[in-house]
Amino acid sequence: MIQSRRLLAFSSRVHTYFLLILFFLVLVYLGCGFFHINEDFVSLVILSENIIIWAIYLFSVWLLVLSFIVYYYSKVFPLKDFLLTLVRLALAIGFSAFFEVVEHVVHKGLTLSF
């Protein structure tokens, strides 16, 4: 069972690295607005962001299932890893929503109606 806990700890660390890569891509995308950048590069950044987001989502499911597997076999629930996975998932969803809002405002503008 110690191997499952180690796998959970290592996978949590990899999940954090995915989140850091996503944060870097958001910063790159925001930096593209300040410099003259080719549209192909912006498309590549958006594609990379989508791939990383889906990897984070799928990895989150894996971590949550692994937490329950560890609980089933050891009868001790890894609450810290479970909660941190949920926090990282919420941050990824927040970054994704921010990315989509900025993308919508840049390409379609901001409309206010009363």
pLDDT in tens, 41-71: 888 988 999 999 999 999 999 999 999 999 9
Task: Check residue 104 and give its pLDDT.
Answer: 84
Among 84, 106, 89, 90, CA closest to 9: 84
- Give the rounded percent of residues in the chain with a pLDDT score beyond 90: 50
Dmax (CA) of the chain: 59
Task: Check residue 108 and give its pLDDT.
Answer: 81
Question: Could you give the CA distance from residue 107 to residue 111 in angstroms, rounded to a whole number?
Answer: 12
Confidence of residue 39 (pLDDT cuts 50, 70, 90): confident
Confidence of residue 33 (pLDDT cuts 50, 70, 90): confident
Confidence of residue 30 (pLDDT cuts 50, 70, 90): confident
